[in-house]
Structure 1
Amino acid sequence: MLSAHFASVSAFPSHSWQGAAGLRGIRGCCRAVWSRPTKKARCHSRFRGSSAWNSMFCKTAGPPSTLECNKAASSCAKSRRWQLSLYLFQNMESRSVARDVVSFNTAISAAIQGGNWRLAAQIFASISECAVVPDTISYNTTLSAFQVEMHWDVALQFLGGMQEQVVLPSVTGLNTTMSIAERSRRWQLAIVVFTSIAAARKSPDVISYNTVVNACARRGHWKAAMHLHEMMLTEMIQPDVISFNTTMRACNMGREWQAALNLLSTLPRFRLTPTTITYNTALCAYDVGQQWQRAIGLFDYMTRMSIALADSCNAAMSAGKTASAWASAVQLLADMPSKAIQPDRISFNTAISACEQGSDWLMALALLL
């Protein structure tokens, strides 16, 4: 369970979603979003006259129904008009229209579209004040809000609150939390969340494994990445090409280049087609193993298949920046325009480094100029 780890997480700052919860705070936030007169007028002009507006506010048979408001707010959110969606959500209360869980879920999504994760969390926190029971979509959508600014600590406390309410998080919600931890370079937390999936009586999916393997790869923990990869296969979970890309990258980080290439050779067994990222990772493996001839051969193959990018050439050049192959690395740079590949700063820096290995300072100076 995550409860043991939650105890070690520092207390929430004063601007946390729990401290700002309440309908009063939501009203203020919604009014702030809607406070600019020009934006309000522009949005009114776009929405007024539409069938949704007419059915809700221009009919004479009383206030609109909850279903009508939900449909209109959802339509606005899907068309990226999140301000209108929040405006409708706010006005449902002022017009005495009951709000259900769909109303709140739509408003949370709209707040996320607007990049306001605090408002999204406030809307979620107010659900219970309206005697509405949140569903799985409510939890998952609110968790995704914390990805806006990578608030891994808030996401963990949110999961802890779910456990206190005896609510089992879904695999999607746990995957989102792992992604936040991984992108925040908190690989240990990603592993803790991954192990909690079984405690929540859930089965991890391929996204779960890919996320936790990527967390290990960021820190070069190739043994853990390989163990997780093998565990996924043992559990009969079909890997995708991302599974292999991330595990290969972890092996490269641990300088286990042969293990990375062995993973590449197993792709046909799973009927997976290597992507440019897969081949680039293999090029990095050749670089780690100082296999410059094989790297150039793979890059030539990628060029013939029209899947080579500047990163591909840079990786091949890096493999060739040795005392014996530095001229090949410089030649790769010279050939990039003929292959319709635009060199970047890394391309020139790698070629200059190759010239340094070959003690050709005149060529290095020419590349600088």
Structure 2
Amino acid sequence: ALGLLGEARSARLALDGPAVVAAIAACATGQHWTQALRFLAALPEQALQPGAIALGAAVGACAKAGRWEWALHLVCSPSALGASPDVLAFDTALGACARAGQWERIGFVLTEMRQRGLVPGVVSYGTAISACESAHLWRCALALLWEMPARSLAPDTGAFCAAISACEKGQQWERALVLLGCMRSRGVGPDVVAYSAAISACEKCGNWEWALVLLRQLQVSGLEWDAIAGNAAITACGGGGEWQRSLAVLAEMGRCSLELGAVSWNAALGACGLSRQWTWAVELLAEMRRAGCEPDLVALAAVLAALGAAARRAPLLPLLADTADRCSASVRARRQLGTPVL
């Protein structure tokens, strides 16, 4: 598309709007955002008025290339081109800002939309809430979520999940539970992402009881629970000294054919380590190896902590040697990659 358009321009052939829009969209596919801007700026030369579709395609090209500042410029300062952005273009710019961590621009973009007579929709708010979640701004995320009904918008699953994740990052487990309840009362069924985020919120606050309650609710809901929810529950129980419950969740994950990765094993080993259950830690480490998951430094450190706390020297020495070998291998790998060794 770009080649044909270039040949047409070289031959001084008249171009129509759809051809230019197609070329700008092709720029987005290939991340040629500067070329997209050139095509957009060249429209007046062809006696063509840049429309919302052409402008939106250029915004999309900039957003896909990670050029959030240009995406923002196109929707907020399009007067030079005589084009008016639509809601889709603004939503694309919002997404670009969110992915770039530019959460402070979100409120400005929403205000700009309203000043132009556009109404931010569910996608607009969902993107804004996700930006706040990524920035650990749970208060802003909740403010935006509750603003939606006031503007006659019904929050969808994505908006609720982003808000619950924001509460998880802010260690606001009670608010996360309230949001789960709101989802049910509003007829928005919580998905596994919402449950996992709420379980993680309980885990971060050391509330293992509610973490297990939510895990059971997830299991009986008919949804397919995953390792993320299980790992959070294991860690929550371990932090509360409930190492037996941690091992029970790990075993249940295995029975449900969930993938037990290093995170799962390490969480269970950490629970044993915190409770000084060195015999279980050693057995779990052996089981981890039998399952084909090679223990990393985190796993070895958890077992060493359990053995050290119990003053068990016999199993301690080979583990220390194994840990030393792995540390040396890690240092060599970092040096080969040119990564600083702390």
Aligned to 1:249: 235
Does the alignment pair 1:329 with 2:312? no
Greater RCO structure (CA 8 Å; 6+ sep): 1
- Letter of the structure 1 residue corresponding to residue 235 of structure 2: R
Aligned to 1:307: 294
Are the aligned partners of 2:239 and 2:271 in contact in 1 as well (CA < 8 Å)? no
Aligned to 1:216: 202
**In 1, distance between residues paired with 2:287 and 2:238?**
21
Shift, 1:200, TM fit: 2.3
Would the alpha carbon gap of residues 342 and 217 (structure 1) be closer, same or farther in structure 2, given more than 3 Å must change? farther
Does the alignment pair 1:167 with 2:114? no
**In 2, distance between residues paired with 1:200 and 1:341?**
55
Q: 1:198-237, aligned counterparts within 5 Å?
A: 198-237=184-223
CA RMSD after TM alignment: 2.4
- Corresponding residue to 1:155 among 138, 141, 161: 141
**In 1, distance between residues paired with 2:298 and 2:246?**
18
- Letter of the structure 1 residue corresponding to residue 216 of structure 2: E
Q: Percent identity?
A: 26
SS in 1 for 2:133: coil
- Letter of the structure 1 residue corresponding to residue 295 of structure 2: A
Shift, 1:102, TM fit: 0.8
Shift, 1:65, TM fit: 1.8
Are the aligned partners of 1:276 and 1:308 in contact in 2 as well (CA < 8 Å)? yes
Aligned to 1:96: 82
Shift, 1:341, TM fit: 6.6
Aligned to 2:38: 53
Are the aligned partners of 1:310 and 1:343 in contact in 2 as well (CA < 8 Å)? no
Task: For residues 50-85 of structure 1, give each alpha carbon's deviation from its aligned partner in whole angstroms, at most 9, with x where no partner exists.
Answer: 255225435422321211111111111111122222
Would the alpha carbon gap of residues 233 and 47 (structure 1) be closer, same or farther in structure 2, given more than 3 Å must change? closer
Aligned to 2:98: 112
Aligned to 1:3: none
Aligned to 2:336: none
Task: For residues 152-177 of structure 1, give each alpha carbon's deviation from its aligned partner in whole angstroms, at most 9, with x where no partner exists.
Answer: 21222212211212311111111111
Aligned to 1:258: 244
Are the aligned partners of 2:33 and 2:61 in contact in 1 as well (CA < 8 Å)? no
**In 2, distance between residues paired with 1:187 and 1:206?**
16
- Letter of the structure 1 residue corresponding to residue 321 of structure 2: A
Aligned to 1:66: 52
Task: For residues 290-333 of structure 1, give each alpha carbon's deviation from its aligned partner in whole angstroms, at most 9, with x where no partner exists.
Answer: 33133223324545735322111111111111344145335422
Shift, 1:243, TM fit: 1.2
Are the aligned partners of 2:36 and 2:58 in contact in 1 as well (CA < 8 Å)? no
- Corresponding residue to 2:125 among 112, 125, 139: 139
- Letter of the structure 2 residue corresponding to residue 321 of structure 1: G
Are the aligned partners of 2:134 and 2:166 in contact in 1 as well (CA < 8 Å)? no
Shift, 1:127, TM fit: 1.9
- Corresponding residue to 1:196 among 160, 166, 182: 182
**In 2, distance between residues paired with 1:101 and 1:199?**
29
Aligned to 1:317: 304
Which range moves more in the overlay, 332-341 or 210-219?
Answer: 332-341
**In 2, distance between residues paired with 1:243 and 1:54?**
48
Would the alpha carbon gap of residues 343 and 323 (structure 1) be closer, same or farther in structure 2, given more than 3 Å must change? farther
Which range moves more in the overlay, 91-100 or 195-204?
Answer: 91-100
Which range moves more in the overlay, 205-214 or 78-87?
Answer: 78-87
SS in 1 for 2:315: helix
Are the aligned partners of 1:187 and 1:212 in contact in 2 as well (CA < 8 Å)? yes
Which range moves more in the overlay, 82-91 or 226-235?
Answer: 82-91
Shift, 1:244, TM fit: 0.8
Q: 1:259-274, aligned counterparts within 5 Å?
A: 259-274=245-260
Aligned to 2:115: 129
Aligned to 1:38: none
Which range moves more in the overlay, 281-290 or 103-112?
Answer: 281-290
SS in 1 for 2:108: helix
Are the aligned partners of 2:94 and 2:109 in contact in 1 as well (CA < 8 Å)? yes
SS in 2 for 1:336: helix
Q: How many residues align?
A: 298
TM-score, normalising length: structure 1: 0.74
Would the alpha carbon gap of residues 162 and 65 (structure 1) be closer, same or farther in structure 2, given more than 3 Å must change? same
**In 2, distance between residues paired with 1:47 and 1:229?**
45
Ranges in structure 2 where 5+ consecutive residues have no aligned partner: 1-31, 332-342
Would the alpha carbon gap of residues 139 and 313 (structure 1) be closer, same or farther in structure 2, given more than 3 Å must change? same
Are the aligned partners of 1:107 and 1:120 in contact in 2 as well (CA < 8 Å)? no
Structure 1 stretches of 4+ moved >6 Å: none
**In 2, distance between residues paired with 1:269 and 1:321?**
32
**In 2, distance between residues paired with 1:145 and 1:254?**
32
TM-score, normalising length: structure 2: 0.79
